[in-house]
Each structure stands twice: as structure tokens, then as C-alpha cells.
Amino acid sequence: MKIGKDTVVSMEYELRLGGSDEVIDSSEGEGPLSFLIGHDNIVTGLEKQILGLAVGDERDIEVAPEDGYGVRDESKLIAVPRTVLPQDFEIEPGLPLELEDEQGESFPVWIAGVEGDQVMLDGNHPLADETLRFHIKITEVRKATATELTHGHVHGEGDHHHH
């Protein structure tokens, strides 16, 4: 079976950035990463380039920032009063948070730092502006179940998702 829309893919991967040889993320020790194709589970540039692959295929894949975690946009830096966050919340730069817009849609931000009584939140992904270099090996391709398609993510073995 080949990777296509509505298939569930498991793969081993290593991620490096730009021209660096340092592995900043990998499936080693964690087991293969599983995700659903066609539901924004992984960055678009990676998804596009694994379409048509099958179990056993191994590739080096390069993803430009535009198709990865985006290009840095300074207008996505926002300051909120410290009081907006729970009192016992430990503010640590790099920590991810979920915010809600007026429509109730949640979106991710990362703590950039503290300035006086303001907390700076950054809507840019920490890997914005980075060229992503993946080394991947496909370990499983299967059809998604009806429930997985409804939910838009993978269920089952090795999946820590709960309902």
C-alpha cells in the first residue's frame, strides 16, 4: 500500500536544521511516529514529499520554512498582562500555550519572555524560519479507520491520545 490521502503512516525519523549535522528530534527510543495523511497532522512540506512511498522506503527530505513551520512574522509577538496567566503558572521561555481567538478557535503561542508586568507571547513556531532536513524510513502504511477520519488523528497502539 502506498501513502495517500486518508492513510495512516508510521515512520522513523531524524530531524536536522539547515546546514547542521546535529539531530534535534528523532523517533529513536520513542518508536515510530504515526500520523494521518490529509488532516494537517504534520508539516505540509513533509507530507507532500512522502506521498506515494511504501513500507521500507527511506528518504532524505528537505522542507523550506514556507512549507514547514513558517516564516517569522514579528507582528505575531504579543504582550499580555502577567495577570492573564494563572498565579501559580511558572513562566518559562519556550513553553507552549494555547490561546483562544474571538471565534473560540484555539491557536498555539510560545512564551518569549517577561518584560515588567507583561508576558511576551510569540505566535511564531520556535522552528519558524528553519529549513527542516528529515531522514525518514516508512515502517507502516494502512487505511485509516472511520473514527480516525472523523477525529482527524490516529488512534490505536502506541498512541497516547485519549477520549
Binding stretches for Zn ion (CB under 5 A): 151
**Measured from the CB of residue 34, what is the shortest distance to Zn ion in angstroms?**
13
- Nearest CB to Zn ion, comparing residues 61 and 149: 149
**Measured from the CB of residue 162, what is the shortest distance to Zn ion in angstroms?**
8
**Measured from the CB of residue 75, what is the shortest distance to Zn ion in angstroms?**
33
**Measured from the CB of residue 129, what is the shortest distance to Zn ion in angstroms?**
32
- Nearest CB to Zn ion, comparing residues 39 and 135: 39
- Nearest CB to Zn ion, comparing residues 26 and 41: 41
- Nearest CB to Zn ion, comparing residues 87 and 163: 163
- Nearest CB to Zn ion, comparing residues 39 and 151: 151
For 89-120, the DSSP string reads: ----TT-EEEEE-TTS-EEEEEEEEEETTEEE
CA distance 153 to 6: 10
Q: Which of 114, 48, 46 is closest to 84 using CA atoms?
A: 114
Write out the H or E segment, with its range, that includes residue 121: strand 118-122
Residue nearest to Zn ion (CB): 151
**Measured from the CB of residue 158, what is the shortest distance to Zn ion in angstroms?**
14
CA distance 118 to 91: 11
Q: How many CB atoms lie within 10 A of CB 57?
A: 16
